[in-house]
């Protein structure tokens, strides 16, 4: 059971990283980002919409949210550089967390 949960978490992190790299390279006005943003419902009406919102945040939402915040706060190129630094920082933290069981 723990392997299945670890696999799901790893898959979610992989999708987040792929989304982040696509955002970094192509920006937010690409067909991929437009398609992904259609998964999110502002006002979920039923259980299906709530599940799709959870799926959106688990697999794409945090990368899109961090990118939008960086671009709105710092602008074009500088915002992308800040987003890249955020991504590197997140990868370092994840590498440390993944190696904690092997340290002891």
Q: Which of 69, 65, 95, 100 is nearest to 82 (CA)?
A: 69
* Longest distance between any two alpha carbons in the chain, whole Å: 48
Helix, strand or coil, per DSSP, at residue 38 = coil
Q: How many domains does the chain have?
A: 1
Residue span of the structural domain in which 70 resides: 2-103
Kind plus residue range of the DSSP H or E element containing 61 = none
Token pair in block for residue 16: 């987040």
Is the sign of the CA dihedral 7, 12, 13, 14 positive or negative? Answer: positive
> What pLDDT sits at residue 21?
84
Contacts of 12 (CB under 8 A, 6+ apart): 58, 59
Please state at what angle helix 76-103 crosses helix 2-26, rounded to 10 degrees. Answer: 160
Which residue stretches of the chain have pLDDT < 70?
none
pTM assigned to the model:
0.73
> What pLDDT sits at residue 73?
92
Token pair in block for residue 98: 């993944």
């Amino acid at each position: 059971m723990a392997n299945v949960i670890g696999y799901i978490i790893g898959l979610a992190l992989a999708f987040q990283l792929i989304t982040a790299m696509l955002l970094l390279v192509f920006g937010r006005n690409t067909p991929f980002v437009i398609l992904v943003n259609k998964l999110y419902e502002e006002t979920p009406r039923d259980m299906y919409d709530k599940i799709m919102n959870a799926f959106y945040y688990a697999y794409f939402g945090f990368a899109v949210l961090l990118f939008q915040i960086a671009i709105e706060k710092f602008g074009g190129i500088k915002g992308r550089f800040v987003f890249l630094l955020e991504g590197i920082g997140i990868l370092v933290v994840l590498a440390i967390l993944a190696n904690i069981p092997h340290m002891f």
